[in-house]
């Protein structure tokens, strides 16, 4: 089960990178995460393992940072349940028309066909939620980071 999503932003690539790379505040924009155990200021580095707490499961999920290309790409593996593994890749690309967020997700394991229909609507919103958070940060740079309302669609 694999799917790619694209969202375009008027925010600079640096802002998008800062938001996606800030592991402690993923709950401010990611529709499936309520919090992480990453300390404030923790940035993604290859080999880092942290926990994310899911909005719908009462379990924490182990997240392993696989690959990081600073300013460009973060790839993680998420281990939420035995029999289910997710690989998520966030790629930030500057273009003449703005900045693109390319979000790719792959589910594998014997549980993936059962979980995919439930996760798919939420995964559809990840890239657009990241873009909304970046555009909010550009509009209100002096404000402390607050949760972007991604559920009003």
Residues 43-100: pLDDT tens digits? 999 999 999 998 877 778 999 999 999 999 999 999 988 899 999 999 999 888 888 9
The 3-state DSSP class for residue 7 equals strand
Per-residue DSSP letter, 136? H
CA 131 to CA 113: how far, in whole Å? 28
Q: How confident is the model at residue 152 (pLDDT cuts 50, 70, 90)?
A: very low
Give 118-148 pLDDT, tens digit per residue: 888 888 888 888 888 888 888 877 665 555 5
CA 98 to CA 22: how far, in whole Å? 22
* pTM metric for this prediction: 0.85
Q: Are strands 49-54 and 60-69 parallel, antiparallel or unpaired?
A: antiparallel
Question: What CA–CA distances, in Å, run from 74 to 30, 46, 69, 71, 152?
Answer: 15, 9, 7, 9, 27
Domains of the chain (ranges, CATH numbers): 2-139 (3.30.530.20)
């Amino acid at each position: 089960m694999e799917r790619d999503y694209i969202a375009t932003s008027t925010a600079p690539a640096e802002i998008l990178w800062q938001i996606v790379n800030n592991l402690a505040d993923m709950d401010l924009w990611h529709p499936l995460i309520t919090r992480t155990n990453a300390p404030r200021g923790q940035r993604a580095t290859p080999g880092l393992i942290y926990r994310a707490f899911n909005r719908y499961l009462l379990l924490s999920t182990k997240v392993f940072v696989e690959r990081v290309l600073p300013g460009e790409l973060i790839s993680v593996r998420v281990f939420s349940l035995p029999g289910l593994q997710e690989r998520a890749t966030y790629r930030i690309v500057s273009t003449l028309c703005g900045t693109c967020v390319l979000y790719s997700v792959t589910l594998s394991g014997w549980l993936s066909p059962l979980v995919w229909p439930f996760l798919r609507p939420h995964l559809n919103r990840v890239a657009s939620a990241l873009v909304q958070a970046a555009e909010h940060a550009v509009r209100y740079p002096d404000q402390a980071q607050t949760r972007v309302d991604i559920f009003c669609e």
